[in-house]
Amino acid sequence: MKRTQVLGSLVFGAITTLGLTLFATGQEKEEHPSKLFKEYCAKCHGDTGKADTFKGKNLKARNFTDAEWQAGESDAELIKSVTEGKDDMPPFGKKLTAEQIESLVKNDVRGFAPKKN
């Protein structure tokens, strides 16, 4: 009887721990900007997306917090710009996968858009 209780307690504890771990993992918010953005984009666009870095100012990099600009560009246009390059921005199509570029556009670039009230 005692062995059954101990075993039952161990199983219950393991299930509870697993459940809490899965719940906590599911609650994590993705980092913004992402590590990928910080590595490849922040040199010009900055961690804030405002292009207020020395290099960004010199190259007249795009300010991602500009609501008018955000509204005027489609995801497809942005993906093409990142992949092929545009103006002074170099192409990243050979350095990054299509999935990484899509994530940069949809999560990072769009994540800098001003929040609508």
What CATH number is associated with residue 60?
1.10.760.10
Give the confidence band of 115 by pLDDT, cuts at 50, 70, 90.
Answer: confident
Residue 41: is it exposed, middle or buried by C-beta count within 10 angstroms (0-12/13-18/19+)?
A: buried
Total-model pTM = 0.72
Residues 12 and 45 in one domain: no
pLDDT at 58 over 70: yes
Residues 57 and 86 in one domain: yes
Which residues, in sequence order, are bridge partners of residue 89?
Answer: 86
Tell me the average pLDDT across 67-73.
Answer: 96
Residues 116 and 93 sit within 8 Å (Cβ to Cβ):
no
Please state the domain count of the chain: 2
Residues 56 and 90 in one domain: yes
Residues 21 and 38 in one domain: no
Higher-confidence residue of 111 and 17: namely 111
Higher-confidence residue of 112 and 13: namely 112
| Residue 24: domain span | 1-29
Tell me the average pLDDT across 37-63.
Answer: 96
Tell me the average pLDDT across 53-74.
Answer: 96
Residues 11 and 55 in one domain: no
% of the chain exceeding 70 in pLDDT: 74
Residues 20 and 37 in one domain: no
Residues 25 and 44 in one domain: no
> Mean pLDDT, the chain, as a whole number?
84
